[in-house]
Structure 1
Amino acid sequence: MELVFDGHNDVLLRLLVNMQGGGDPVAEFRDGTDQGHIDGPRARAGGLAGGMCAIYVSSGRFELRRPDADGHYDTPMEPPLERQPSLDIALAMAAIAFQLDRAGAWRLCRSTAEIRDAMEEGIFAAVLHMEGCEAIDRDLAALEVFHAAGLRSLGPVWSRNNIFGHGVPFTFPSSPDTGAGLTDAGFDLVRACNRLGIMIDLSHITEKGFWDVARTTDQPLVATHSNVHALTPVARNLTDRQMDAIRESRGVVGLNYATTMLRPDGRESAGTPLFDMVRHIDYMVERMGIDCVALGSDFDGAMIPATITDAAGNQNLVSALSAAGYDADSLRKICRRNWLRVLGKAWHEH
């Protein structure tokens, strides 16, 4: 079994929602559930040894707009969120992460050494990530506190706008060049992340925002859960030029398992074959090289192929990649080593 460190999941959101309904997040993760994609037992069964766990403030019940007869859709952007309620939700999700750590259900990791140790011990290695910085103030005081608490990765925006920048809408077909990029506050956020050692995720930002980050950051460029625009022209996917910049910075792209970002027709369908996942990996490897490609499932945040189903099915993709000709060293890089290299660089470890 090839152990996987995953670039993105939304398990904390699922646990928070269930807790608000009376559930016990520690028991749900530790003992297992039939809901969502990730818990401890299913992670172990599928070799999911750890990943970036998102603090994400939902806009409510988000749904993609139904496609027209040609399969095209243009989902309206969600409105900006107020900061104080967003901070409360972010703190509640962080608290769940700490509770899981204290109970031994997973280990909250702040260094690549801690990730490696947890994986060797068979404990899920969780890294706190923030998907959209609605909980962060303009003066970045909250960023300092979240970093002290263990935040080690963030995306300035989700697919909505905030005080730091502009996100891309869920639109197919569409270029990622959909609007403005970073604000002045966003440039300050990038510089603060560089100083603190917080990895910057470019997965939901506009193309202009991507280039704003690229010319400001001293880190490798990273998109934790994005795919190839040339194969699936949804606004969330990366152009060849963006991937070239990621290659030049020795960054990483994590393959997103969301079917809307894998299929040529951009549709949400659990019947999406493993072939579509492999062809995105193939394209990224050919464009960027084997050292720049990883996995970023979006477990608990999207519809994924039924051939994977949940974390327990992760090895089905590994087997498909092996059958497509990827050797053992290449699989180790895609499954975990590329993430550990880039995280170590962003975290000032080397």
Structure 2
Amino acid sequence: MRLLAGVLLIVSSLARASDDGVELHSHLFMKQGMGPLFNGEFYGPLKATSWRDRLSSQANPAALERSGLRLVVAALYAHPVLTPDMREAVRAQIELARRFVRESDGRWVLATDARQAREAVSAGKRVLVLALEGAMGVIETEADLAEFVDRGGIRVVNLLHLTDDLFGGVAFLRGILGFADPWAFFKSLFSPTRDVDGVRVNPAGLTEKGRWMARELLKRHVWLDLAHASDASAAELIPMARQAGQPILYTHTSLRRFLRAERGITAEQLQAVRETKGVVGLMPCPDMLEGMAPSVPTGPEGKPGLPAFLAQLREVRLVVGADGVALGSDTNGGIAHLPPASGTGTSLDADAGFWQIGQSSELWKTMVQPRAGAVLERFLNAWERVAPRP
């Protein structure tokens, strides 16, 4: 009887936890960010059909409603070549976010500070927060800051993205993907800089323009996302953020000691998250979970899947705390997601695997939270310190 009661308590806890999911990085409106390369609109049917799909829509209003996510950080993005006007592309995405909230009949709130988010959650509502992935071409001047931050409501900014730019150096991706930053990666082939574990890293740090922009964002209480920063850039951004009282934030990452690429988070960077009570978003993506085999079972085609994701989750929690790890799914972000799982009793076991945002509640359940709402509470506590009350 005691065992049965314990099982029922766990099931009840998992059911509650699945409604309190936190997603730190999801591109809901990627058609406006990628133009003709992307298949599908947010206001349209899902176009993805499998975990392998990278550039087909994995999110729409119905899927987002089914997701069980209580708070979603919606990452806005504008491709520098595929969008004729990067600022206009981001404006269009902001308007889509506002439209979604308007048409949600009060179920969703577009929050610009932690107080608004708390009030929404307390009222049983769900929260959308706007982020920008890659500032160059969108936020470069005081006028841009006024438009996109002060009036547009962007509250999280990944200053750096895939390619070194006027703001600074970016983290190299794994293997051939390193050529996303072609010139810097090419130079590193002949004169490599490596971290303490021998991983090739980008020697480029922040530029003077990047330091100025980081200071301006901090001054406006914008939360700096360090997920794509090179080690050299992060070595400057982390002290700046800490001095401003900001918890350290990595919205979508994985462990470098397995990934063996600069794009993964280091032990030292995880320690900074722990010390500041920040938050990490883990990526349910096979390309970011490489290096876990043979100790962890793989899925179809030998790709790392749910066991690898959960193994990394356990490791990160040991450092930052069980409440410090959220999802960083990079929905619609041009990546593959988890191949079919086994034994979860959910749609994650089907041939399509984890392929759309509506399955987030099922993935969140497998993560077994310390208590219902714990990650959400930590996120809100951290956000409060980004923009403290006057």
- TM-score, with normalisation over the residues of structure 2? 0.72
Structure 1 counterpart of 2:377, from 332, 337, 345: 337
Aligned to 1:328: 371
Distance, in Å, in 1 between the alignment partners of 2:389 and 2:325 is: 21
Moved more, 306-315 or 180-189: 306-315
Moved more, 261-270 or 111-120: 261-270
Distance, in Å, in 2 between the alignment partners of 1:56 and 1:120 is: 30
Distance, in Å, in 1 between the alignment partners of 2:288 and 2:38 is: 31
Contact 2:168 2:207 in 1 (8 A): yes
Aligned to 1:191: 215
Relative to structure 1, the CA distance from residue 37 to residue 120 in structure 2 (aligned partners, 3 Å threshold; closer, same or farther) is: farther
- TM-score, with normalisation over the residues of structure 1? 0.80
Per-residue Cα deviation, 1:199-256 (whole angstroms, up to 9, x for no partner): 0000011011111101222211111111111122232111111111222222111111
SS in 2 for 1:50: strand
Per-residue Cα deviation, 1:158-195 (whole angstroms, up to 9, x for no partner): 11122211112322398373121111111112211221
Distance, in Å, in 1 between the alignment partners of 2:162 and 2:38 is: 27
Structural RMSD (CA): 3.2
Per-residue Cα deviation, 1:83-123 (whole angstroms, up to 9, x for no partner): x9322222222222233233337532112233344446665
Matched ranges for 1:76-225 at <5 A: 85-104=85-104, 106-119=108-121, 124-136=126-138, 138-148=140-150, 149-172=152-175, 175=199, 177-217=201-241, 218=244, 219-225=246-252
Structure 2 counterpart of 1:42, from 60, 63, 69: 63
Distance, in Å, in 2 between the alignment partners of 1:233 and 1:211 is: 19
SS in 2 for 1:5: strand
SS in 1 for 2:24: strand
Per-residue Cα deviation, 1:277-316 (whole angstroms, up to 9, x for no partner): 1111111111222243222111111211133322222233
Give the letter for the 1:254 counterpart: G
Aligned to 1:252: 279
Structure 2 counterpart of 1:228, from 252, 255, 272: 255
Distance, in Å, in 1 between the alignment partners of 2:316 and 2:323 is: 10
Relative to structure 1, the CA distance from residue 115 to residue 210 in structure 2 (aligned partners, 3 Å threshold; closer, same or farther) is: same
Give the letter for the 1:85 counterpart: D
Give the letter for the 1:37 counterpart: Q
SS in 2 for 1:224: strand
SS in 2 for 1:180: coil
Give the letter for the 1:328 counterpart: R
Aligned to 1:66: none
Distance, in Å, in 2 between the alignment partners of 1:255 and 1:104 is: 28
Aligned residues: 319
